[in-house]
Amino acid sequence: MTDGKSNLVRVLPVVIFAVVAGFFAMALRSGDPSRLPSTLVGKTVPQTTFPPLEGLEVNGSPVRGFSSADLAKGKVSVVNYWASWCQPCVEEHPFLEQLKEEAGVDIYGVNYKDQTDAARRFVSRFGNPYSAVGTDKSGRAAIDWGVYGTPETFIVNGRGEVVYKHVGPISADSLTTKLLPAIEKAKAAPAP
C-alpha cells in the first residue's frame, strides 16, 4: 500500500501542473487582446516627453520626438507603440500607412525598448507613417500609458484625452471596424 501512495504522491503534482498549464494555454489562445481594458480611455494622456529617435531623418531633416503637449493642440491624433523586434509590428505597418492616408491624422510613433540602429533600419525598410518618432528606451512611459506590449495604438482627441485603445496589431478588419470609426467619432466631437 505504501508503494501505491508514494507513486500517487509523486504523480499528483505533475498531473495538477499539467491541468493548470492546460487551462492557462486555453485562456491565452482564446483571448482577444484588443478587449483588454484601459484605464486611460476618457482621461488626459500622461505627462510624457518622448525624445527623438537619434539619427532618424526624412529628406535630410531630423525627425522630431514629441510630448504629451503635442497631443492636445485641437486635432485628433494617433499614438502607436512599436519596436523593430516585434513581428506583429511588421504585420501592422502597412495598415498604419493606410490609416494615415484614410484618416488624415498625425500618427506619433513611440519606439519601445529598442536599439537605435535597429529602429532606424525598421523605418527605412517598411516606411515612415509617423509625423514624429519618440523613444521609450526604459519602458517607463509605457507603464504610465498602461501599455501591455507592442504594438498598441491610442486615439487621442484634440483635448489630449485617450478616446480609444487598440491592443495588438492593426489588421484590415480592425482598421475599418474599430480605428477609423473611433477617429471619425473623435473628429465629430465638439472642439476644445
Q: Homologous superfamily of 34-188 in CATH?
A: Glutaredoxin (3.40.30.10)
The pLDDT value recorded for residue 190 is 74
The pLDDT value recorded for residue 40 is 78
Alpha helices in 76-139 (DSSP H): 87-103, 116-126
The pLDDT value recorded for residue 30 is 44
The pLDDT value recorded for residue 170 is 97
The pLDDT value recorded for residue 41 is 86
Distance CA(92)–CA(149), nearest Å, equals 14
Could you tell me if 76 and 100 are in contact, meaning their C-beta atoms sit under 8 angstroms apart?
A: no
Spatial CA neighbour of 112 closest among 32, 44, 50, 54: 50
Q: If 0-12 CB within 10 Å is exposed, 13-18 middle and 19+ buried, where does residue 50 land? A: buried
The pLDDT value recorded for residue 10 is 75
Rg (CA), the chain: 21
Per-residue tens of pLDDT for the chain, all 192 residues: 556 667 767 776 676 666 665 555 454 444 444 455 567 788 999 999 999 999 999 888 999 999 999 999 999 999 999 999 999 999 999 999 999 999 999 999 999 999 999 999 999 999 999 999 999 999 999 999 999 889 999 999 999 999 999 999 999 999 999 999 999 999 998 765
Cell of 87: 513581428
The pLDDT value recorded for residue 189 is 83
The pLDDT value recorded for residue 34 is 46
- Global pTM reads 0.80
C-alpha 18: how far from chain center: 32
Cell of 58: 526624412
**Distance separating the N- and C-terminal Cα atoms of the chain:** 78
Distance CA(67)–CA(44), nearest Å, equals 13
